[in-house]
């Protein structure tokens, strides 16, 4: 299990927050890789340079990466920039070649994290090796699978771990290529204190125009760093052209980020914040008390329906509740998405209370 006793979670390379990881989606040619990385290193405060050597593509017969011939190019990049380099590994052969080539940091891609067999094989091939590994979220929104992948690596002795949030492949992803689920990285940090969490705006956005907003949001949520794709000639990139930016635009994006302090020692600020938080504590207490009372009434209704042999769900009543409460929520400045989720959760719990009564079951699900 991911124990709290581990002190050295994190990439273990000399990095200041926010850690910046940048480079092209793919290494295409020696010139493209070296020129891109040199420009990134000279124009920005990037800590680690990235490039894909083996590319997991959706369809065959598209560019699947240059393969191992790109590894010596990364060595040249290291020498010329004096920065550590990272590549994606998806199987044991990749791991062996990466280690032999002196790659400093590995990352596991979203399409690999999703597969416990693949992750276990990679973890086994890393036994006894002290190398930082970054684990992208799986393509589907499954927090446990993401944690599970890190557990497999941790159990194999890898302690220098970081998680990368690159969004999730869902049917309705709005303007994004991969929908970000900001509660997941927050929950990750709650469950694994000390774990470094990086945001990958490039794969979340899929297009340049959205990058700044997503990168800023990650900073506002206190992510430890960013992974961003950059290419000397983005429009001509052999993979992920629409989301890559020139090293100059990468610099602009980073310079425009507002890095706010996580806390303040100003007594006036602390006083005011404490008072506002006191009000929140009080309101939460009331909300939970009221919800408890609401559930007690739901249980009573369940008993009454049982005595009279009436079914639990009354669709018309639920429709009325939903419509009226959504209006009330709107009038109280609550967003539709939030109100919808809250009402559904309350209704589900009420139904559960009533079915428990109906079936006399006290079994915890
Ligand atoms: C990548 O970083 O280029 C990549 C393939 O990412 P992901 O695994 O997030 O799709
Ligand atoms: Mn990419």
pTM: 0.86
- The mean pLDDT of 324-335, rounded to a whole number, is 97
Residue 200 burial by CB count (10 A; 0-12/13-18/19+): exposed, middle or buried?
buried
Answer yes or no: is the C-beta of 154 below 6 A from any ligand 1 atom: no
Dist. CA 253–CA 88, nearest whole Å = 24
Sorting pLDDT into bands at 50, 70 and 90, what band is 17? confident
Q: What is the pLDDT of residue 13?
A: 56
Please tell me if the CB atom of residue 50 comes closer than 6 angstroms to any atom of ligand 1. Answer: no
Q: Answer yes or no: is pLDDT of 217 > 60.
A: yes
Across residues 175-194, what is the average pLDDT?
94
Q: Closest ligand 1 atom to the C-alpha of 239?
A: 3
Spatial CB neighbours of 24, under 8 Å, sequence gap ≥ 6: 32, 33, 36, 50, 51, 52, 229, 230, 231, 237, 244
pLDDT digits (tens, 9 = 90+) for 285-321: 999 999 999 999 999 999 999 999 999 999 999 999 9
What is the number of the ligand 1 atom nearest to the C-alpha of 203? Answer: 9
Structure confidence at residue 221 as a pLDDT band (50, 70, 90): very high
Tokens of 9: 């979670």
Residue 365 above 50 pLDDT? Answer: no
pLDDT of 165 strictly over 60: yes
Is pLDDT above 60 for 4? no
**Per-residue pLDDT at 364 exceeds 60:** no
- pLDDT value at position 363? 47
* CB 231 near ligand 1, within 6 Å: no
How many Å lie between the centroid of ligand 1 and the Cα of residue 15?
Answer: 22
Question: Measured from the CB, is residue 166 less than 6 Å from ligand 1?
Answer: yes
pLDDT at 6 over 60: no
- With residues binned 3-state (H G I as helix, E B as strand, rest as coil), the percentages for the chain, rounded to 5, are 50, 10, 35
276 has a pLDDT exceeding 90: yes
Rounded percentage of the chain residues whose pLDDT exceeds 70 = 94
Average pLDDT, the chain: 93
The residue to mutate among 21, 110, 231, having the most atoms of ligand 1 within 8 angstroms of its beta carbon, is 110
Query: What domains can you pick out in the chain, each with its CATH number?
Result: 2-256 (3.20.20.70), 267-359 (1.20.59.10)
C-alpha 85/C-alpha 21 separation (Å) is: 9
């Amino acid at each position: 299990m991911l124990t709290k006793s581990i002190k050295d979670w994190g990439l273990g390379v000399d990095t200041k927050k926010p850690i910046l990881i940048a480079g092209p989606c793919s290494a295409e040619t020696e010139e493209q890789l070296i020129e891109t990385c040199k420009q990134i290193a000279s124009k920005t405060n990037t800590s680690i340079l990235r490039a894909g050597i083996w590319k997991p593509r959706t369809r065959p017969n598209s560019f699947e990466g240059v393969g191992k011939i790109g590894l010596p190019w990364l060595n040249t990049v290291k020498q010329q920039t004096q920065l550590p380099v990272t590549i994606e590994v998806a199987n044991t052969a990749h791991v062996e070649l990466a280690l032999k080539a002196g790659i400093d940091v590995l990352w596991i891609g979203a399409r690999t994290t999703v597969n416990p067999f693949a992750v276990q094989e990679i973890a086994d091939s890393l036994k006894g090796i002290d190398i930082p590994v970054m684990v992208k979220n799986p393509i589907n929104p499954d927090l446990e699978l993401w944690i599970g992948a890190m557990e497999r690596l941790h159990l194999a002795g890898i302690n220098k771990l970081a998680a990368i949030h690159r969004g999730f492949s869902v049917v309705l992803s709005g303007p994004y290529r991969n929908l970000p689920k900001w509660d997941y990285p927050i929950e990750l940090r709650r469950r694994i204190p000390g774990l470094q969490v990086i945001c990958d705006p490039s794969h979340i956005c899929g297009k340049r125009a959205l990058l700044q907003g997503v990168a800023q949001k990650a900073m506002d949520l206190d992510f430890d760093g960013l992974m961003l794709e950059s290419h000397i000639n983005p429009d001509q990139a052999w993979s992920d052209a629409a989301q890559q930016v020139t090293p100059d635009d990468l610099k602009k994006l980073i310079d425009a980020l507002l890095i706010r302090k996580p806390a303040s020692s100003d007594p006036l600020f602390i006083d005011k914040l404490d008072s506002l938080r006191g009000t929140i504590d009080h309101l939460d207490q009331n909300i939970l008390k009221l919800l408890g009372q609401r559930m007690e009434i739901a249980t009573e209704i369940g008993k009454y329906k049982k005595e009279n042999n009436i079914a639990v769900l009354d669709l018309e009543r639920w429709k009325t509740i939903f419509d009226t409460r959504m209006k009330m929520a709107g009038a109280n400045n609550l967003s539709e998405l939030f109100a919808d989720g809250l009402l559904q959760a309350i209704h589900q719990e009420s139904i559960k209370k009533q079915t428990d009564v109906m079936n006399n079951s006290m079994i915890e699900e």
